[in-house]
Structures are given as structure tokens and as C-alpha cells.
Structure 1
């Protein structure tokens, strides 16, 4: 049986096993990915995501590889922003396996049952929000052992009993709209003085109104003193993270960036209505908005800014805009930074993303014809060339894929989502560590070593070209049913070797130029070579897209590819010979035994 299967497709089987062991090796290099991944899947099952809003793919190596609503640091899950998803279950004990969890946000769902005492095992937990659910019973006494906890919100739940005294020492807590023993007639209040004003309930608002007349003047004085001292302390440093609360002050600009007030963005997005959500990722949601001057914008609200990952993403995108200005790069209009929010504001892209136009169209919507796809390939290449070779310091995007290429009104490619990008100082090594990105788009050396360079982006660009030509995803498990390769790159290589160009091209393309398609495919395969030093630079890619220097490099690639296939074939035949020899020896021994 073994020999028979091997003879059917020895190269394919061996290559499949090599890929499997490569990915398996890489997965062990990323610190116990299965433990946290399985814990998250158990947690999601217990939460009961009946609306199927959370898409966590168990086939990916690690939850840190682009799972939505999961934020990681150093290969570990640190934040789960899961508010307002309609969950109707409860909390699973598996959450205790997330030993590095810093923030858990499950407010505004319909979770029920008692508050589990095993939450006390999350020793790194700093932010816990379970408000507006249906939890019942009392607060476990063990929760008083959460030594790292800084923010706790249990408001609007059916809770009863007393509150562990240690929880009243937290910087921020909220036990209002419950039946817990606090408030009037007790020694401790239901809401801390430093509680987030955006989550305040009616009782707190009434208290604020009562004291507003006598406290307003004092607050103004304190604010003036604080602003003056803050300005003196940070003189000479960037002051872009200053809250702007007034309508008039929101017109202030810092260079080309505009500071928006929280109120202005609330109005623009209809109070961040779920109906205005146009995208979401690991750091939060993106809303469609309309400013007071009728300008359409995309508002990216970071849901976990208080964690290092979210705050770093915010600072990174603001920092990048100061050095990266190009027609094929998404422009940052402005930002809003308050004590409770981090928000980025971009131009709204009417035609959404390339991935949407390739695979997620609604009935009646326009897809991408071949001239548009070719223009996207060129535009993306020009944007990457600028990031790699014209920016100072240069920038590595680290998450290049069709979903991160937006389309403006004229279907021009605009490279966006710099949340994972990395500035590279030319005086230092051009290598960054810590694996970021999306499976199927990650270069093999980056996946196995955690080191990324400009050539990591080149690999991602090559995969994106394959997406443009085929319309398919980089990884598609459904191809297993047809006994095809799961990885898009292997699938295309096989069809190309069999001269089946018509089976490679997206079936939604009514017409295309065969020679241009072949050129794009050749560039894609040159960009996705296994060794980074063999891949072209983006300036070379731009030239090859125009046909300059492509013929020679393609001839070299074919020669090397044939040599590697011969080596694989030799290894396969040797393996089969050893197997047959072993079987023959066993047959002789069995014959003698008789």
C-alpha cells in the first residue's frame, strides 16, 4: 500500500510532508501556540457565538497569526476585546490557560451564570469588563487575589451579596445597577472616582449634575494647571496625544494631521453604530463616518489601546505617516486621543478592498476586470518600492495581502493597515523579530526564525499577485476535496507546469491578456522563492512588471526549479528503493522461517 501510493505521486507526497514538517517546526518555535489556541476555541464554544461573528480558524498555527479580536505580545495572547457580539453562554475554565492575559472585555453581551472563581488564576489580568450581562450570584472572594487588576466593571448584572474589600482599592471599579452591598448606607461607593466617564450609568450622571455647579470652576483651574505642567514637562517632544474635547479646538492641526474631538467622531459614526462597521481586526473596528462638512471617512477605533499592543499600533501608524507619503499609500487624516480612546481617521475608500472585490461581492456589485487587476499590481509595487527604498528610515509592512490593499474612487491601489509595520533604521540591521502577519502570506524564513526583512514583504507581494490572477485565497482547505494543493503557490505551480493557464485564471474574468497573465505569474513565482536572497527587490519587481529583465531571471528560475525537482526525485527514488529492499529482506526471512 505504501509503495503503491508513493508511486502515484512521489514528488507531491514528499513535498507535502516537507511543507507539513516546516510548518510544524515553525509552530513549535512560536511558544506553545496550541495551548492558547485550543483555550480560545473552548472559550468561544462556551460563550455561544450563535451569530457566528467570530471567525477563529483552528487550522492556523497560532492564534497570534491574524485571528480577529486577539492581541498578542511575544507570541502570547494578552487581550480579548469581545464586547457587543451577542454571546449568550458563559465563561469556560479554559480561560485560565491564557496565563498572559492582560485585558478581557465582554461587556454588552447576554452571558449568564455565576462569576467563576477561577478568574483569580489570571494573575496578569489588569482590565476586566463584564458589564451589561446577565451574571448572577455573588463576586467570588478569590477575586480579591487579583493583584494586577486595575479596572473592574461589573455594572448592570444580577449580582447579590458583598464585595471583597480588596476590590474597593482598585483605581477604577463600577458595581452600579446591581444588588451588591454598596452605595448609600454603606461604607464604600458603587463607582470609583476615577471610573471611565464613557461607561457611567444614570446614578453616576445624577451625582455629577448635582456637583457640577460647584465643581466646574475647580476642574477648570486644575485642568489649566495640569495642561501647563504637562506642556513644560514635554516641551520639545511630540504632543500629538493630547485630548481635544471642544468643537472649536478640534480644528487645530499638527502638520498635516488633524485632531478630532471625541464628540465629533461620535456624531460622524452615529455613536459608533454597529451598522456603520465596515471592517474589524485584532486591534478594533473600522466605522464609516461622515464629518460635519460631508467628508466621508473611515474611523479606526482601537478597542485595546490601554494594552501595549494596541497603544503601539496607534503610535506606529501616527509615526509612519510622518515619513511615508505616497499616492499608493493610505493617507492618515487625523486622530483622537483621550484618556479612554485612541482613534485614527482615514479617507473613506468607496470601493473597499481588493479582497472584497475578488471574493465578497454582493449581487449587482462590480468586480475587478483584468486591466484593473494589472493596475493594482503596479500600484502596490510602487507603494512597496517607496516604503523599502525611498523612505528614511525604510518601512517593512509585514502584512501584505489583498485585504490590506484598498481601492479609491478610480480603483487605484492604496496600501493600508500599517498596524504591523516596522520602521527600520538604516544604521542598524534590517531585521525585525516577532512573527506578525497572516498565514499563507508569511515568508518561510520569517515563519521559522521570526526574522523579517524587505524580502519578507516581497514574498507577501508575490502571494498577492497570485490572489489577483486567481481570485483565490492563499490557503484554501477546500482544495483538499479535489486532491489539490492547499497552498495557493503550490496549486499555481502545478497548473503552470501542466500548461493549464485557463485553470489558473479567475473564472470571474470574462477576458484577459494571456501574455500579461503569464508575466504576472512569472513575477509572482520569482517573488515567492524559498530563499530571500533569490527574491528580487521591489524596484526590480517594478521593472519586471514592465518586461525589463524578466526573461533572464525567469530562465534562471526554471533551471533552478528543474534542478531542485531532480534532487527531490532522486531522494524519492532512494527512499522507495530502501523501502523495497527492506520488504524483500523480510520476504526472504519469512520464506526461510517456513
Structure 2
């Protein structure tokens, strides 16, 4: 009997040991709680199961190889709905959180500040509400914070200023309000970090803060205890007189100010009306002027803008293309814009044109060139864009080759990823969706940080045909055009994907798709690449100017390019898939690229 009990005890203990050893880790249970808050319509997290011993093989999850703690959650472009569960705070070793380009709503939970080892947080392009957790400044290791393109509101917490390691901050395109704290690390960021928040003010965006009466805000200094004396009768009398006099003066001043404000407002309205109202005549396009501005943050009057636009001449020309001449317009305060002048010979209905322009003006993404305004003059139509200092990728890659080292391999990968994100936004997040039709290196513009912006989106449709997809005239550039687009003139998202694949090959090879090396062999860049790779001549593909190339990332990039340029459009990935592939297979820890900086250029 005693032996039976002993055997039973041993078996029970063994069973208990096995069950305990196979139990899911606390991090795994925290992830399951996080999953319960998501609406996973595509079953992307199907392999997140409580029967597993470890979450380290789950979709989008990475762990520390030593202790199996979760260090990364990477779930962008997964079409996830729902909320971010407060259980995120249980992942105390989490270093990277990437949930961008989903459909998450609700608030950013305060518990996220318990993830004290967090280094990168990407929550852009969701529908998150509420404010920024006030204790976000506790995440002292944070280097990248991207909350752009949500519906967040309220003030920007001053605690962010304590994040001394922060080198990339994007709070654009939300509904933040109030003064931007000009202290600590927050004083280092400029307009791009905060653009698209109309109720923000502060030095960083060159917009002074004002009180409810319209005066610049000046906070009084608090009186210290040392400065206050015991009240005396005579001093109270003097103070009473002073207060009465000041009150009277203040009242008089307010009355004068209100009168002047009403007078100035009516004058401003008369001035604006003079330039923006469309005259009701039989042929208004020939006789009237009209100015429309987008994003609401151009600090210039209509009069000043139109005067500058009318004064542009040949000395201001910086380029030209299929859609018109591009000018550099410098305002009186040295603010600089690019102006695309479209000749009136491209005749069409002003009403239809302006409706389409307004759609383009509503599009905002950090990897797209912002359309800031539109002006109709009797002789031309003018589109006003942000001016990017480094010009186009084509110019930097082919015309300014002497600037060695500027376009190193890491920079090219970031340009590829940022461009993919911009194009994916046009295809998947705009309503109506926008097919670019002319993806090429000269339409990828770069700012002084080598951050890419896709330009000229929507112009091919705008100036060729009113149909959403089919044109009788092929718009695009030889070498980048998909074969089916050349055959039937039908522009689709998949023809854009093909052009983007050619752009990837251009970044790898450093050669234009019309380079003589391809033409002499009767091939295009796609055919040439396939031939060289079949002969295992990878070294012949890579631009010799790139000395920091990582072969694994080159092979991954070429594989993505090959999928993008598949002869069958149906077999090409969608652009959001391309962006995801670039993030996961190229911009990964094993590729040698900064793991936490892979969204540095994506501010939307």
C-alpha cells in the first residue's frame, strides 16, 4: 500500500512538473490579453495560442534568445482593429512596438509607460484618440516616437522633453492644441514634427501663442515670500487707486481693441474676397484669379501669395517635366516653395480640375510632397508644393555622383522604404484611392535628411483624363512602365507596383532603366537583372559606389523587386505588402540596419 502511494505521488509530481514546464510564459499570456483587444479580421494572429510553451515563434513577435522575454512586437499593415490593451504594460522587457498602418482606436493606455526598456514606438496611421500618456517621459530609452496620423488631442506633455535619447519624433496630423513646450529635447524638433495640428503654437512651428484676447501670452512671475511685506494701510490705498486706474485703462483699451479688430477683420475679408472669389462671368477662367490653400498653415495673405506667383520668371525655374515648369518661389520671410506651372493649353474644365486638386490637397503623409495650394490665373494654373532642398533622387543618384558617400546603402534602403510607404498610402488609405502612374526616381524628392517624398501623385489623372483608371494616352516614363500598361493604357495599382520594382533596381544598380548597358543587349533593366542573377554575378548588379553593402539585404531587396516586376500583374504584391516586406525582410536586425530606426522617415 505504501509503495502504491509512493508511485502515485511520483507520477503526480512528474505530471505537475511536465504541465508546469509546458505552461505559457507570463509574456505569452500578456500577448494573448493584447490579442483579445484586437479585431483580427484576417486571422493574422492565428498562431498565437495558449497551448504553446513560448510566444517567440508567434507572428510579429521576437524574443531575447537568452531569457526568451518578448522584446519586439511588429504588426504593421495587418488591418487590425480594436484597442491596445492595458496588458501591454506587462511586457516589461519590450523594446520595439510597431502597430502602424492599422485601424486601432481607443486611447494609448497609460500602462505602456511600464515598458521602461522601450526604444521605438510606431503607432502612426490608426484612429487612436485621447491624449499622450502624461508619464511618457518615464521611457528614458525611447529613441523613436511616431504617433502621427491619428485623432489624438490635448496638449503635448512636457515630460517628453526628458527623453534625452529621442532622435525621431512625429506628432503630425492630429488634433493637438496649446503651446509646444520649448524645453529639453522638444526644443530640437521643428515644423515637420508638429505639422497638421492647427491649434498648436510655439517657437518650433514659428507660430506665436496668444491669449483669448489675442495678446501674446506673457506669464507673470510669482512673488516669493521674501518679497512680500506685511500689508500697511497706506500701501492698500495706493494699490486701490492703481487697480482702479488700471481697470479703467484696461476697459478703454479693450473697447479700442475690439473696434480695431472688427475693422481689420472686415478689411481682411474685403482683401481676400478680391482675390479668391470666382467672378460669375461666361468664361471665368480667362478673367478671374482664384487662390486655394490646403492644410490651413500658410502664414501669408492671399495678396502676398498671388503677387509672388505673378512675379515668377525664367530666373526662378528649377526644372520642367511632362506636366509643366517648376519654379522656386521665395517669400519675404525666406519661406521657400516649389511652384508647378501648368500651361492653359492643357484645356479642361476649371471646375473639374479644382475639384480634383482639392482631393489631392487633402492628402497628407510624411512620405508625400504636400500640395500646399492652388492658384488659377488667366494664363496658367499653378500648384504650390513644399520645397525639398536636396532635389530628386534621380539628380542625386545620377547627376551628382561626385557627392560620394551621401547615398550609401543604408540611405538607399531608407529611401526605398519611405517611398513604398508613401505609395502604399495613396493606394490603400486615400479615398478615393490614387494611382500615381509615373513612379520614377525624378519623382522621389529628398529633404536635407535624405527622407523621401513621392511627388506628382495624381497629376497624370488630373491632366490626361477624368476616368479613374483608364487613359487613352499612356502617362509615364519609358523604362518604368509595366508591360500591360504599355499595351492597353490601363493604369492600376499593380502597374505602379511594377514601376516601384524598377525604382528598387535603380537604387541597387545606380543605373537608370534606360542605361546604354541594357539597351545594347536589347534588354530592359528587369531582363538584365534576371540574366545577371541567373549567372550568379551579384557583384555586377550592385552600384560600385556603395561600399557598405550588406549582401543579405541586397538579395532580399532584389527578391522584392523581382516580385514587383512579375510579368503577370496578378502575381505582384500590393504596395502595403511591399512596404511590409521591406520592413520585415530588409530593414531587420540581421540586415545590419539600425533596428529601431527603420521608420525614421515615416512621419504620417
State the TM-score, normalized to the length of structure 1.
0.46
Q: Looking at CA atoms only, which structure, 1 or 2, has the larger radius of gyration?
A: 2
Report the TM-score when normalising by structure 2.
0.46
